[in-house]
Amino acid sequence: MAILVIADHDNAALKPATLNAVAAAQKIGSDIHLLVAGQGAQGVAEAAAKVAGVSKVLLADDAAYQHHLPENVAPLVVGLAKGYGHVLAAATSEGKNLAPRVAALLDVAAISDITGVVSPDTFERPIYAGNAIATVQSADAIKVITVRATAFEAAAATGGSAAVETVSGTGDAGVSSFVGQELTKSERPELTQAKIVVSGGRGMQSGENFKLLEALADTLGAAVGASRAAVDAGFVPNDYQVGQTGKIVAPELYIAVGISGAIQHLAGMKDSKVIVAINKDEEAPIFQVADYGLVADLFKAVPELTAELDKVR
């Protein structure tokens, strides 16, 4: 049976996490179809058709899908799903919002945030903030799955030449409407895609002090993240949060500054290749996962580090 992957996009471009979901689909089977539901999303469908390993793109272009409201998109997916053995989405805020709604309408379980494919019906997923890995087997005819992007190397964005097929929409369910959005604007790389991430915690003491981290990040071409404590304190917006219920990142280099290292934070970054911790408390749990720990006053160490890196890079 073919696999349906739901594309995550903003009507203008495909979100990179979609490529990781396609990669997970490739571990399950070979006939992979990508669904683009949106409005004015022809360009996204064309990009989707180029993704390596995708054999068909389904484009549902309808005003009701402009903001991807799950009340409108779920019936579309449910209508299509009957012809598939698997329905996958990236475990982004959109995928997490939509997939369980689809699963319930199909009367099947949803399998959240998979990090491994053991066989077409058996998957690995983290539980308890990643402190245990469960292997679960589904007996349902259709497996509805969200994919943790950092666990699967992205499929190539080019090289494919799938046909684009138009599918008709299911209309507006009439129970929800989009009011507005406030998106954080940044010139820096996107947090979940960045090769280097610099994150700050409660130790930063204020939002103003995050400028120190931004300077360091800009020297490294890095993204800026934060712990829950820093977000709750209002230092930075919610979309900076790395952790169990925030963003999951796995960059080449993660620099944790003034972060104590609660298990909920570690859940979001412990798969990073190299972890650096800078904290004045030498007992901070973050040092237990850090490859390189520096016990120091961050207000002295961070500017010094930025200056040193300026010299060597």
Q: Which of residues 156-175 bind another protein (CB under 8 A)?
A: 173-175
Least distance from another protein to the Cβ atom of residue 202, Å: 15
Phi-psi region of 65 (alpha: psi -120 to 50; beta: other; left: phi over 0): alpha
Question: Where in 34-93 is the site for another protein (CB under 8 A)?
Answer: 67, 69-71, 74, 92-93
Least distance from another protein to the Cβ atom of residue 263, Å: 7
Least distance from another protein to the Cβ atom of residue 258, Å: 15
For residues 288 and 260, the answer to whether their CB atoms sit within 8 Å is no
Least distance from another protein to the Cβ atom of residue 117, Å: 14
For residues 43 and 171, the answer to whether their CB atoms sit within 8 Å is no
Which one, 168 or 238, has the nearer CB to another protein? 238
Among 181, 187, 208, 283, binds another protein (CB under 8 A): 181
Q: Any residues with CB less than 8 A from the CB of 75 and at least 6 apart, and which?
A: 105, 170, 173
Q: Is 203 in the site for another protein (CB under 8 A)?
A: no
Nearest to 170 by CA among 58, 270, 268: 58
Site string for another protein, 207-246 (x = CB under 8 A): -------------x-------x--xx----xxx----xx-
Estimate to the nearest angstrom the gap between the alpha carbon of 27 and the chain centroid.
19
Q: Any residues with CB less than 8 A from the CB of 96 and at least 6 apart, and which?
A: 112, 146
Least distance from another protein to the Cβ atom of residue 159, Å: 27
DSSP lists the bridge partners of residue 242 as 247
Is the CA virtual torsion 162, 163, 164, 168 positive or negative? Answer: negative
Q: How far apart are CA 298 and CA 313, in angstroms?
A: 21
Question: Where in 257-276 is the site for another protein (CB under 8 A)?
Answer: 263-264, 270, 273-276
Among 27, 50, 104, 299, binds another protein (CB under 8 A): 104
Which residue shows structure tokens 């989009």? 178
Q: Is 247 in the site for another protein (CB under 8 A)?
A: yes
Residue 296 CB-density burial (10 A; 0-12 exposed, 13-18 middle, 19+ buried): middle
Site string for another protein, 13-42 (x = CB under 8 A): ------------------------------
Q: Site size for another protein, by CB under 8 A?
A: 93
DSSP state of 204: G
| Phi and psi at residue 304, to the nearest 5° | -65, -45
Least distance from another protein to the Cβ atom of residue 298, Å: 11
Least distance from another protein to the Cβ atom of residue 204, Å: 18
Among 184, 206, 211, 297, binds another protein (CB under 8 A): 184
Question: Where in 121-160 is the site for another protein (CB under 8 A)?
Answer: 122, 125-140
